[in-house]
Amino acid sequence: MTNFSTFKDLLSYCQEHHVSIGEAALEYEVARGERSEADILLGARKILEQMRATIESGLYSDEPSMSGLSGGFSKKVMAFSESPQSFMSSLEHRMIAYALATLEENSRMRKIVACPTAGGSGVVPGVLIALTDEKQIPMPTLEKALLAAGMVGGIVSQRMHLSGAAAGCQAEVGVATGMSAAAIVEALGGTPQQALDAVAIALKNMMGLVCDPVAGLVEVPCVKRNAVAGIHASAAATIALAGIPSFIPLDEIIDAMVSVGQMMPPQLKESAEGGLAKTPTAVSFTERLYGEQPD
Amino acid sequence: MSSSGSLFNIMGPIMIGPSSSHTAGAVRLALLARNIANQPIRKVQFILYNSFAKTYRGHGTDRGLLAGILGYSVEDNAIRDMFKNAEQTDLEYQFIPYDQPNPFPPNTVKFEITLANGDFLTVIGHSIGGGQVYVSRINEYSVALKGEYPTLVMFYHDQPGMIWQVTKIIAEEQINIASLNCTRKAKGTEAFMAICLDSLLPEPQVKAIREITEVYTVYNVDKIPL
Ligand code: SF4
């Protein structure tokens, strides 16, 4: 039975059949009966190629976004990575820059891969493509890592809509961070248990994250939030790969996220009526932006 | 994702930014409305509700809705310049944010469509995240249409043998039925049938179904790409 509705189901399937999360995800997708295994892997590769193409077109671009709130950020991080002041590894610099590049392309209304949404689209490519560039992860492993990320998002999406409007940013960048943590563990050959612990650790820290975009644009806080989230996923994966489990099981964490999402007021769910969107700086920016535009 | 939804809905779609619910979802909803109309469209009023009403300009929801009505896909680079593209067509359009309390979910749009033949059509749809959408209403009828399959939607006067009459016409065309869903208000009153098919039913068969005396309305709705 590959029709996983809980992480517990997924884990026991992996343990019984001696497969990774990514391999179980592949079996899940095959069992749906719409696409062959080869076609699914090709689909995964196509997604990875688009992720890389988006990063490459955005990485050294100075072009401002439609609103002018972002643009040129990833280029600055790539330059800083060469500076004597830099203190993170080259892998981490890439993770940050790649996520920024993806979100900046998104804000320019260019082509991206929603993962699980456009607002959270920088986290998975940021960690996966950076990891490939620095650690030479082979394509078949990378495809499985992406599928593992998809499976994690898929199981969460059975219990909550993955949109800031439905449950706040915990459902977008939050879930993307959990997906990325699983992808890192899969790419580095960790166990299914470690992958799910990494997801759990990542999500416990993303729970309650509100969606309060300035002027309703997917830019502030979204662009930089994706970059920070990649590092967050890396930390969660490191903790799990070191052999430290999550005290609260993942399924219970998802239930808690669902209930937190329900308690969250509508002002903090993508309506741009609370949080950062209501700060004086954001309010005056919004007036300037929309004041100039005819309705 | 429903319990057996594709993982490619989660790591995808490949789309033009900036928002999967407000841009890609808008394109897909409008594509679905366009497929429901299934005829040239002269004019559309987009009534926007809740989060759509508050943030549509910043998220390109307006360009996305326009792109879908004009038949562009979520990954078409032209979405960015859709206002210019629309100028080159005869389509009239207007965006109307609705700011009163309402019963709809966060990202809702009502399409008030005037067809080239003068007919009028209302479609209400919702974007639920990650580019996934559903339509809940066509004119006065409640439906649940996601655009995953070519779907025949019909409203008819409930009476014995209706399902058989309709499925016979479909079977004669050698088209597989993926699922069939029927509801009615009460025995012998108005009933609703949605038949998900493996491919779109050709127009002559749709006409044959329309001609069954008990049938009030038929919509032959093609699926929308992921
Ligand atoms: S803050 Fe809101 S718009 Fe921005 S990424 Fe998070 S959920 Fe999406």
HEC-encoded secondary structure of A194-229 = HHHHHHHHHHHHHCCCCECCHHHCCCCCHHHHHHHH
Whether residues B109 and B85 share a domain: the answer is yes
Q: Is residue B46 part of a domain?
A: yes
Q: Is residue B226 part of a domain?
A: no
Whether residues B179 and B139 share a domain: the answer is no
Q: Is residue A69 part of a domain?
A: yes
Residue B9's identity, in one-letter code, is N
Q: Is residue B17 part of a domain?
A: yes
Instruction: Kindly report the nearest CA distance between residue B4 and chain A, in angstroms.
Output: 6
Instruction: Kindly report the nearest CA distance between residue A135 and chain B, in angstroms.
Output: 23
What DSSP string describes chain B?
A: --TT--GGGTS--EEESS-IIIIIHHHHHHHHHHHHH-S-EEEEEEEEEHHHHHHTTTTTHHHHHHHHHTT--TT-GGGGGHHHHHHTS--EEEEEEE-S--SS-SEEEEEEEEETTS-EEEEEEEEEETTEEEEEEETTEEEEE-SSS-EEEEEEE--TTHHHHHHHHHHHTT--EEEEEEEESSTTSEEEEEEEESSPPPHHHHHHHHTSTTEEEEEEE-----
Please check the confidence at residue B136 and state whether its pLDDT lies above 50. Answer: yes
Distance from C-alpha of A184 to C-alpha of A133, rounded to nearest angstrom: 13
| A23: containing domain | 7-290
Residue A261's contacts (CB-CB under 8 Å, 6 or more residues apart) are A160, A166, A167, A168, A170, A171
Residue A220's contacts (CB-CB under 8 Å, 6 or more residues apart) are A69, A70, A213, A214, A276, A282
- Which residue from B168, B166, B169, B171 is spatially nearest to B153, judged by alpha carbons? B166
Which chain B residues are within 8 Å of A119, Cβ to Cβ?
18-20
SS3 A56: helix
CATH number for the domain that contains residue B107: 3.30.1330.90
Instruction: Kindly report the nearest CA distance between residue A286 and chain B, in angstroms.
Output: 10
Q: Is residue A295 part of a domain?
A: no
Q: Is the link from the previous residue into A64 a cis peptide, with omega within 30 of 0?
A: no
Number of residues that this document lists for chain B:
226
Q: In the listed set B82, B111, B145, which residue is the last one of a domain according to the structure?
A: B145
Q: In the listed set B145, B161, B177, which residue is the last one of a domain according to the structure?
A: B145
Between the CA of A117 and the centroid of ligand 1 the distance, in Å, is 9
The partner residues of A229 in beta bridges, in order of sequence, read none
Q: Is residue A99 part of a domain?
A: yes
SS3 A93: helix
Q: Is residue A113 part of a domain?
A: yes
Please check the confidence at residue B148 and state whether its pLDDT lies above 70. Answer: yes
CATH number for the domain that contains residue B186: 3.30.70.260
CATH number for the domain that contains residue A217: 1.10.4100
Whether residues B32 and B111 share a domain: the answer is yes
Q: Chain-centre distance of CA A182, in angstroms?
A: 11
If you take atom 3 of ligand 1, which residue's CA is the nearest one? A218
Whether residues B183 and B197 share a domain: the answer is yes
Which chain B residues are within 8 Å of A275, Cβ to Cβ?
none
The model's pLDDT over B27-37, given as tens digits with 9 standing for 90+, comes to 999 999 999 99
The number of distinct structural domains making up chain A is: 1
Instruction: Enter the DSSP assignment of A269.
Output: B
The number of distinct structural domains making up chain B is: 2
pLDDT at B183: 85
CB pairs below 8 Å between A and B: how many? 179
Pocket around ligand 1 at a 6 A CB cut-off? A 119-120, 164, 169, 172-173, 211, 213, 218, 221-222, 270
Whether residues B157 and B140 share a domain: the answer is no
If you take atom 4 of ligand 1, which residue's CA is the nearest one? A222
Q: Please give the average pLDDT of every successive group of 10 residues along chain A, which has 295 residues.
A: 92 98 98 95 98 98 94 98 98 98 97 96 98 96 98 97 92 98 98 98 98 93 98 98 98 98 94 93 91 51
Q: What token pair was written down for B19?
A: 């928002």
Whether residues B198 and B116 share a domain: the answer is no
Whether residues B84 and B119 share a domain: the answer is yes
Cα A55 to Cα A76, A122, A142, B29, B172, distances in angstroms: 14, 9, 16, 28, 51
Distance from C-alpha of A286 to C-alpha of A277, rounded to nearest angstrom: 9
Q: Identify from A100, A162, A258 which residue to disrupt to test chain B contact, counting B C-beta atoms within 10 A and taking the largest count.
A: A162
Q: Is residue B201 part of a domain?
A: yes
Are the Cβ atoms of B58 and A163 closer than 8 angstroms?
no
Are the Cβ atoms of A163 and B3 closer than 8 angstroms?
no
Q: Confirm if B154 and B170 have CB atoms less than 8 A apart.
A: no
What DSSP string describes B25-57?
A: HHHHHHHHHHHHH-S-EEEEEEEEEHHHHHHTT
Of A114, A147, A171, the CB nearest to B15: A114
Q: Confirm if B131 and B74 have CB atoms less than 8 A apart.
A: yes
Please check the confidence at residue B129 and state whether its pLDDT lies above 90. Answer: no
Whether residues B20 and B116 share a domain: the answer is yes
Distance from C-alpha of B31 to C-alpha of B50, rounded to nearest angstrom: 21
Residue B98's contacts (CB-CB under 8 Å, 6 or more residues apart) are B47, B48, B49, B53
Q: Is residue B25 part of a domain?
A: yes
Whether residues B112 and B129 share a domain: the answer is yes
Q: In the listed set B116, B145, B174, which residue is the last one of a domain according to the structure?
A: B145
| B216: containing domain | 151-221
- B16 pLDDT band (50/70/90 cuts)? very high
Distance from C-alpha of A46 to C-alpha of B173, rounded to nearest angstrom: 35
Q: Chain-centre distance of CA B13, in angstroms?
A: 18
Is A176 buried (19+), middle (13-18) or exposed (0-12) by CB count in 10 A?
buried
Q: Confirm if B109 and B52 have CB atoms less than 8 A apart.
A: yes
Whether residues B108 and B216 share a domain: the answer is no
Q: Is residue B2 part of a domain?
A: no
Are the Cβ atoms of B106 and A117 closer than 8 angstroms?
no
**ipTM, 2 dp:** 0.94
Residue whose CB lies within 8 A of the most ligand 1 atoms, among A106, A112, A222, for a mutation test: A222
Q: Confirm if A178 and A202 have CB atoms less than 8 A apart.
A: yes
The model's pLDDT over B159-191, given as tens digits with 9 standing for 90+, comes to 899 999 999 999 999 999 999 988 887 788 889
Q: Is residue A16 part of a domain?
A: yes
The model's pLDDT over B47-80, given as tens digits with 9 standing for 90+, comes to 999 989 988 888 899 999 999 999 999 999 999 9
Q: Is residue B1 part of a domain?
A: no
Q: Is residue B99 part of a domain?
A: yes
pLDDT at A267: 93
pLDDT at B3: 61
Of B5, B6, B19, the CB nearest to A119: B19
Q: Is residue A275 part of a domain?
A: yes
Cα A103 to Cα A64, A71, A84, A281, distances in angstroms: 12, 9, 27, 22
